[in-house]
Amino acid sequence: MQPKQSFLAKRSSKAIVDVLLIVGLILSIVTARTACHSWWSFHCIVSLTWYALMLIHIWQHWQMTKALLYLKWKALKRNKITFLTLLAFIAMSFGVIIFIVEVNDKLVHVHHHIAHVFWAVIIVHTITKIKQFMACLRSQTVKDKII
């Protein structure tokens, strides 16, 4: 008998978080051009929600994240894009922390540069992981048909 999984650790929850991350990324990119320097702008609200989902996503894949953070060669060799994504996420986190101290035009400019690199890495990461995501959906569908 398998130990009971938490709700967020289930495949269906992972799939839901992944879909919400894709939607959130698109919304964040689209709203970035019109964002004002306010924490209550639609861009900030969407992006902070997306950030919270990213933290859940990282937790859902904690074993992989831990292997990458400890620079385990075998994990790094097979997951270069995921490692770059993790580094870009850390850079973006510092960018958000800077905003807590002060928001000004110079910092917004730095944030935009970090964000463009981050978006590119996230998009490549998403494309490289789409096969795993589809397999996850297929196995869940087959499981639902059996039950």
SS3 (DSSP) at 61: coil
User: What letter represents residue 121's amino acid?
Assistant: V
In the prediction, which pLDDT does 27 show? 92
Tokens of residue 142, six digits: 């087959």
Mean pLDDT by 10 residues, the chain (147 residues): 68 86 91 76 89 92 82 79 88 84 81 89 87 70 51
Taking a C-beta distance cutoff of 8 angstroms, is the pair 41, 74 a contact? no
* CA–CA separation, 127 and 74 (whole Å): 22
Domain boundaries of the chain, sorted by first residue: 11-146
